[in-house]
């Protein structure tokens, strides 16, 4: 499963890119607003840091303007993935951009039916929002399972399932078990996945015992 960082913070990307864990980036208007930075500059910087897809979301709601914005965003860098909402206008835009060879991430997916429509419209990625479904008492991860199963029935569909709105490490593990192609993960969840008390305790013991030997490797 590929890991995309869900962030608009360049420093997070610089820190984690060195681990080899970062396969791409997703952003959204909320993350950009929190960063306080210029949207297009953030996208350009991330595209230089990460060779994989970098999702940049359109702001318009109508097809004509979405298409103009999407084409403009795609000019920033070859690895920009234009992000559009799962609406009729969004799917129209997805179809045109996909036919032009531009990757499209269809976002705000909350049903398997919506996911099927996005795939038919040529989406490179479909983004089901796991955490937001959990918030209203639904099982978000079940949706990931349903979409993965549905897509597997039709090998000609090339859309990748991108588990979004990841809230905690268990979501990542469950998405991998369900067969999601990608999980877009906030940096804090990456660090939560990394940490385990037994790792820390074991390392402390090794350091203490090594000091007793009085040796040095270099």
Q: Which of 40, 68, 83, 216 is catalytic?
A: 83
The pLDDT tens digits of the residues spanning 132-164 come to: 999 999 999 999 999 999 999 999 999 999 999
> What is the model's pLDDT at position 7?
94
Low-confidence ranges of the chain (pLDDT < 70): none
Query: Phi-psi category of 20—alpha, beta or left, where left has phi over 0 and alpha has psi -120 to 50?
Result: left
Give the start-end residues of each E strand in the chain: 2-6, 24-26, 54-57, 80-85, 104-109, 125-128, 160-163, 182-185
14 is a catalytic site residue: no
> What is the model's pLDDT at position 39?
92
Q: Are strands 160-163 and 2-6 parallel, antiparallel or unpaired?
A: unpaired
Phi, psi for residue 154 in degrees, rounded to 5: -130, 85
As a whole number of angstroms, the distance between CA 136 and CA 87 comes to: 21
- Rounded to the nearest 5 degrees, what angle is found at the Cα of 201, between the Cα atoms of 200 and 205? 115
Residue-number span of the structural domain to which 175 is assigned? 2-213
CATH number of the domain bearing residue 202: 3.20.20.70
* Residue 205: inside a domain: yes
> What is the model's pLDDT at position 28?
86
> What is the model's pLDDT at position 194?
94
As a whole number of angstroms, the distance between CA 41 and CA 147 comes to: 34
Q: Which residues pair with 182 in a beta bridge?
A: 2, 162
> What is the model's pLDDT at position 132?
96
* Residue 38: inside a domain: yes
* Residue 120: inside a domain: yes
> What is the model's pLDDT at position 26?
96
What is the count of structural domains for the chain? 1
* Residue 218: inside a domain: no
As a whole number of angstroms, the distance between CA 168 and CA 185 comes to: 9
> What is the model's pLDDT at position 35?
86
* Residue 19: inside a domain: yes
């Amino acid at each position: 499963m590929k890991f995309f960082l869900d962030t608009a913070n360049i420093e997070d990307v610089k820190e984690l890119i060195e681990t080899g864990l970062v396969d791409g980036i997703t952003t959204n208007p909320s993350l950009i607003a929190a960063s306080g930075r210029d949207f297009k500059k953030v996208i350009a910087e991330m595209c230089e840091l990460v060779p994989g897809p970098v999702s940049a979301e359109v702001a318009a709601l109508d097809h004509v303007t979405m298409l103009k914005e999407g084409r403009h965003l795609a000019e920033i860098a070859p690895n920009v993935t234009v992000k559009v909402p799962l609406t009729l206008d969004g799917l129209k835009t997805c179809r045109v951009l996909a036919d032009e060879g531009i990757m499209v991430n269809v976002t705000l997916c909350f049903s398997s039916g919506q996911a099927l429509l996005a795939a038919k419209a040529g989406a490179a990625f479909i983004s089901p929002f796991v955490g937001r479904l959990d918030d209203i008492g639904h099982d978000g991860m079940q949706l990931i399972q349903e979409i993965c199963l549905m897509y597997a029935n039709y090998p000609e569909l090339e859309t990748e399932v991108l588990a979004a709105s990841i809230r905690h490490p268990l979501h990542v593990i469950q998405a991998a078990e369900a067969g999601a192609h990608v999980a877009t993960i906030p940096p804090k969840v990456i660090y939560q996945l990394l940490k385990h008390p037994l790792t820390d305790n074991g390392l402390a013991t090794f350091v203490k015992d090594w000091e007793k030997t009085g040796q040095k490797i270099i």
